[in-house]
Amino acid sequence: MDRKELLVLLNKKKIFSCFSNLPIEFVDSIKDESALDHSKVYSDGMFLIDFVENAEDDISQMYCELRTGRVCNMEDFYSRYGAFDKDGGDRFIRSIKYIVKNR
């Protein structure tokens, strides 16, 4: 799965900002802030910019709703399901697809 496909997948899931509790829109880059709608929350998959609460951080300030109804911090999710592992990408993608609740 390439990066573009991953962003499409993430945008189908219930992933929120810990600052404003609004859903995150995943985009290819958050570097050009002037190109982004300043009434939304964005992430490039690792970093977060929450214009609503005027906050910037990383995945530690994002959370997802799991299909079980539980809430999970995204940093914990990434670690638990192999996103940071050298060969864990496929396991991470499968986990996102099947464990995180759809929007």
Structural domain including 28 reads 3-102
Residue-level pLDDT at 80? 93
Q: CA-CA distance, 16 to 89, in Å (whole number)?
A: 22
Number of domains in the chain: 1
Name residue 44's amino acid: D
Q: CA-CA distance, 63 to 74, in Å (whole number)?
A: 5
Q: pLDDT of 2-33, one tens digit each? A: 889 999 999 999 999 999 999 999 999 999 99
Confidence of residue 62 (pLDDT cuts 50, 70, 90): very high
Is residue 1 scored above 80 in pLDDT?
Answer: no
pTM of full prediction above 0.95: no
CA 71: distance to chain centroid? 13
- Give 73's strand partners: 63
Q: CA-CA distance, 11 to 27, in Å (whole number)?
A: 9
Reported as half-sphere exposure (CB side, CA atoms, 13 A), residue 83 has a value of 15
Name residue 7's amino acid: L
The contacts of residue 31 (CB under 8 Å, 6+ apart) are none
Q: pLDDT of 71-91, one tens digit each? A: 999 999 999 998 888 887 888
